[in-house]
Amino acid sequence: SQQGEEDPQALSIQEGENATMNCSYKTSINNLQWYRQNSGRGLVHLILIRSNEREKHSGRLRVTLDTSKKSSSLLITASRAADTASYFCASFSGGYNKLIFGAGTRLAVHP
């Protein structure tokens, strides 16, 4: 089964606007993580939210987790052109070894 499916697939906004990306998953999780990937580059860990948490903040990032709906959202407030990247949710499948990534949301922030 797929673990971590983001929507929208692509999002285009103006600088200063907020960007919201959603992730749904199918199996039980211990935690859910969000990563950023600049074009052709490595994955940068943004934030981790545990299954007993509902909301978490880090700077301009806000992540929510709804385990009853098996969904999470990532909100980037006051977006900047430098936020342009792909954003992936990821969670562990059966233990703490294998991270399963979603297909990602491509965010474009226009100056």
Partner 1 sequence: EPEVTQTPSHQVTQMGQEVILRCVPISNHLYFYWYRQILGQKVEFLVSFYNNEISEKSEIFDDQFSVERPDGSNFTLKIRSTKLEDSAMYFCASSSSPASGEQFFGPGTRLTVL
User: Which residues make up the interface to partner 1 (CB under 8 A)?
Assistant: 30-31, 33, 35, 40-45, 48, 50, 88, 90, 92, 95-104
Q: Give least dist CB 65 to partner 1, A.
A: 13
Distance of alpha carbon 85 from alpha carbon 65, whole angstroms: 22
Q: Give least dist CB 9 to partner 1, A.
A: 11
Q: How many CB atoms lie within 10 A of CB 49?
A: 20
CB 69, CB 18: distance < 8 Å: no
Question: Which lies closer to partner 1 via its Cβ, residue 94 or residue 111?
Answer: 94
Question: Which lies closer to partner 1 via its Cβ, residue 32 or residue 109?
Answer: 32
Q: What is the DSSP string of 41-108?
A: S-EEEEEEEETT-SEEEETTEEEEEETTTTEEEEEE-S--GGG-EEEEEEEESSSSS-EEE---EEEE
What's 16's DSSP letter? T
Question: Which lies closer to partner 1 via its Cβ, residue 13 or residue 99?
Answer: 99
Q: Give least dist CB 94 to partner 1, A.
A: 8
Q: Give least dist CB 42 to partner 1, A.
A: 4
Question: Which lies closer to partner 1 via its Cβ, residue 61 or residue 99?
Answer: 99
